[in-house]
A and B are shown apart, each in its own frame.
Chain A
Amino acid sequence: MDKKVIVSLKNVNKIYDGGNHVVKNLDLDVYEGEFLTLLGSSGCGKTTTLRMIAGFEEVTSGTITVEGESIAEKEPYERNVNTVFQSYALFPHMTIYDNIAYGLKMKKTDKKEIAKRVSEMLDLVQLGGFENRYPSQLSGGQKQRVAIARALINQPRVLLLDEPLGALDLKLRKQMQLELKRLQRKLNITFIYVTHDQEEALSMSDRVAIMNNGILEQVDIPEKIYEEPQTQFVATFIGETNIFEGCVNSIKGKDIDIMLETGYVTARSENTFNQNDMVVISIRPERIKYSEQPKTGFALKGIIKEQVYVGSVLKTIIVLPNGHEIKIERLAGQKIPVSGDVYVYWDIDDAKLIQSESNRIFNALNNIMFT
């Protein structure tokens, strides 16, 4: 199925006065009707990116197009995108009705039409009967719904949501996540959603875009983000993982032997690597295995440091001779060694091989010094 691009960012940079470079060479295509999440820790540039699309921040360089049209010269009030703000940003001096009707009033819509659409919106967010209340009389979750209804009434092609659930408590947040997802499916509007909550991102999104220090690290469906991280940052940011740094020793087809500081291991990768490349191996705690006998292709010996039962899961920590600790999770009840020396191994498909950051630096240095 060929999907239509609705929002496109090309080589977008944002540098604030004072030289703070918060968004770096961002390329991102958002498809029609998709739920895309910008995920990253605070200060990674995700909110700035959203604000550039909305028009509250100017783009330093690069272009943003919405529906194929550059929006560089358009003021926020001329763009066919609407925003749900983190702080809700409801107008405190207006009733819920007037808040939601605001967008239509600005368009000088007919009064009867406004009344009809507002009541539709109130039904959509399940707030019928709240027309004459003021924002200060609503709870956090209700305010959030009003903010969503207000942003949706102009029927935008794209809805931008800036950590909309950040101020809600956990239970309400879970409930609103489901509701947002339901709304998005029902209305088939493109959602660009900003959050720092990885669980929220993985559970709601069609695709997740992970940002770190202004750089877009990876854009993928949630499963691939978790299972096939393309960078070390993504591997460590999403869920728990074990990281090994090593050097490619030999390559036999897709199987790659890797020398570590404390032994050697094997991994398989679709990506191409060269001998002596520095690599990072990421392997999830639930995928690591260990036994009392060495396995072919692996020579990684450690000592069981401790084991903790956490309900259905048994957490084990194994220490390697260099002090590196490996986190392992097993379903409780499996027959596995509980103490002493063990050999660590894994199914070679489970380990993810990533080009090491230091490899890139090494190559760059190489280019500078020998060309």
Chain B
Amino acid sequence: MTRKNKKRLQKGFSIVYCCLIYLFLFLPITVIVTNSFNATTSKPYMTWKGFSTDWYGKLFDNTALLESFGNTMFIAIVSTLLATAIGTLAAVGMYKYKFKGKSVIDALLYIPVVIPEIVLGISLLTLFSNTNIPRGTLTLVLAHTTFSIPFVVFNIRARLSGYDKSIEEASMDLGAGRVKTFFNITLPVLAPGIFGGAVLAFTLSIDDVIISYFTNGQTKTFPLKVMESIKSGVSPDINALSALILIGTIIFVVITQSGVLSRNK
């Protein structure tokens, strides 16, 4: 084989390989989106009966499903705000100051990340029932905040590894007090890390099933609702909601990425 042909073959192979990877990643998503336009009305909603947008209409009549989605969004937003605030202060504090037991706290941060979710779920349930906190939205928010904090801390810590402390000194040198320095310098410079941590916390909260299952009480989140309905086959209105979430996510990603790109120019 000539060298030129060999190169051509290599190129062809890599194109096929890439296509297979993307197919593997995106085929399941395509199935969901396609199925949300399926006109079928009989279980298990798998056979294609023609195109229809009926399910999107039905989605807005399914109050239980919409309510669960509302719960999910509420819990995600509140727990993200809490985890981001606590995580940011923790990361900055642990970076800046030396104190006793720092290494212990540091090591403990990894525990919520590495222990199986089911263990965390059971322990949170035990904690909440022993302290008589009624299970519901409050316990869900607390649980989600708990497992999100380490991810926020790790994200900000990654940002801090390239952080030059002397910019804070420069700010103070130029006449800004400590609080002003934190809001003018520290926070904006760490913002990409904080934002990344918040997005991660938000995502983790939205699709959490196991821990939510143990701590939800009567409050149903969207993933729990999906789990429940799966016993009778995924109905296309859930597919429709998934497709809408997907579109929302894509728009969000496009906006943030283009923001990052224009900043780097």
Contacts and interface: CB of A to CB of B under 8 A. Distances in A.
Given A75-B177, A87-B166, A102 B171 contact: yes
B172 A75 contact: yes
Contacts, number: 61
B169 A77 contact: no
Given A91-B171, A91-B185, A93-B189, A77 B176 contact: yes
Interface of A: 54-56, 75-77, 82-83, 85-87, 89-93, 102-103, 106-107, 150-151, 154
A19 B166 CA distance: 24
A365 B191 CA distance: 62
Given A77-B174, A92-B189, 8 more contacts: A75-B177, A76-B173, A77-B177, A85-B169, A89-B167, A91-B171, A103-B174, A106-B180
Contact of A85 (B166, B185, B188): B166
A54 B175 CA distance: 12
B67 to A, nearest CB: 41
A302 to B, nearest CB: 52
B174 A89 contact: no
A106 B174 CA distance: 7
A191 to B, nearest CB: 15
Given A93-B189, A106-B180, A150 B166 contact: no
B167 to A, nearest CB: 5
Given A103-B175, A154-B175, A91 B166 contact: no
B170 A83 contact: yes
Interface in B153-206: 164, 166-167, 169-177, 180, 184-185, 188-189, 191
Contacts of A87: 164, 166
A82 B169 CA distance: 11
Contact of B169 (A83, A93, A102, A107): A83
Contacts of A82: 173-174
Nearest to A93: B188
B102 to A, nearest CB: 15
Say what secondary structure dominates the interface of chain B: helix
B164 A83 contact: no
A91 B166 CA distance: 10
A106 B170 contact: no
A53 to B, nearest CB: 11
A265 to B, nearest CB: 51
A77 B188 contact: no
Contacts of B189: 91-93
Nearest to A81: B173
B221 to A, nearest CB: 37
Contacts of A56: 169
Contacts of A150: 170, 174
A92 B172 CA distance: 16
27 contacts: A54-B169, A55-B173, A75-B177, A76-B169, A76-B172, A77-B172, A77-B174, A77-B175, A77-B176, A77-B177, A82-B173, A87-B164, A87-B166, A89-B164, A89-B169, A89-B170, A90-B167, A91-B167, A91-B170, A91-B171, A92-B189, A93-B188, A93-B189, A102-B171, A102-B184, A106-B180, A150-B174
Contacts of A154: 174-175
Contacts of A77: 172-177
Nearest to A85: B166
A80 to B, nearest CB: 10
A102 B167 CA distance: 12
A106 B176 CA distance: 6
B187 to A, nearest CB: 10
Contacts of A92: 167, 189
Contacts of B177: 75, 77
Contacts of B176: 77, 102, 106
Contacts of B180: 106
A224 to B, nearest CB: 33
B193 to A, nearest CB: 12
Nearest to A94: B188
A55 B185 CA distance: 19
